[in-house]
């Protein structure tokens, strides 16, 4: 049976820690930074540093040293002559201490 841990937000909503980290943000820059123990994850729009830290500790059993949360703005695009919007989001840079690893498959 899987164990689910929950955390409370300020407006008394309850969130599962499993749902805070959406997916690893796999790019060339993120791959290079993972060699320096900095991992990048896409997170939900309403997540903050403290919730990201709790989620990383719960899911990967490592303690982050530093967490930076960055908001990605949405952008207007034109694709094949049609206007559209590329959705924004949020991502978190998670720094771990030497020797700790997160395996992203």
- Give the per-residue pLDDT at 18: 85
Specify if 84 maps to a domain: yes
Angle subtended at Cα 24 by Cα 28 and Cα 35, rounded to the nearest 5 degrees: 50
Question: Which CATH number belongs to the domain containing residue 80 in this structure?
Answer: 3.30.70.330
79's tokens: 């694709």
Number of domains in the chain: 1
β-pair partners for 84: 77
39's tokens: 């991992």
Specify if 56 maps to a domain: yes
Exposure letters 65-81 (e unless 16+ CB within 10 A, then b):
eebeeeeeeeeeeeeee
**94 compared with 9, residue with greater pLDDT:** 94
pTM of the model: 0.82
Whose tokens are 């899911």? That residue is 59
51, 7 Cβ separation under 8 angstroms: yes
**7 compared with 51, residue with greater pLDDT:** 51
Task: Place 74 in a pLDDT band, splitting at 50, 70 and 90.
Answer: very high
């Amino acid at each position: 049976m899987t164990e689910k841990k929950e955390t409370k937000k300020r407006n008394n909503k309850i969130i599962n820690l499993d749902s805070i980290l959406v997916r690893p943000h796999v790019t060339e820059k993120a791959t290079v930074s993972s060699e320096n123990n900095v991992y990048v994850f896409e997170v939900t729009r309403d997540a903050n540093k403290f919730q990201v830290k709790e989620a990383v500790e719960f899911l990967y059993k490592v303690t982050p040293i530093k967490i930076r949360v960055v908001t990605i703005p949405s952008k207007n695009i034109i694709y094949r002559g049609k206007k559209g919007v590329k959705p924004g989001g949020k991502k978190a840079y998670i720094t771990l201490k030497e020797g700790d690893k997160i395996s992203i498959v």
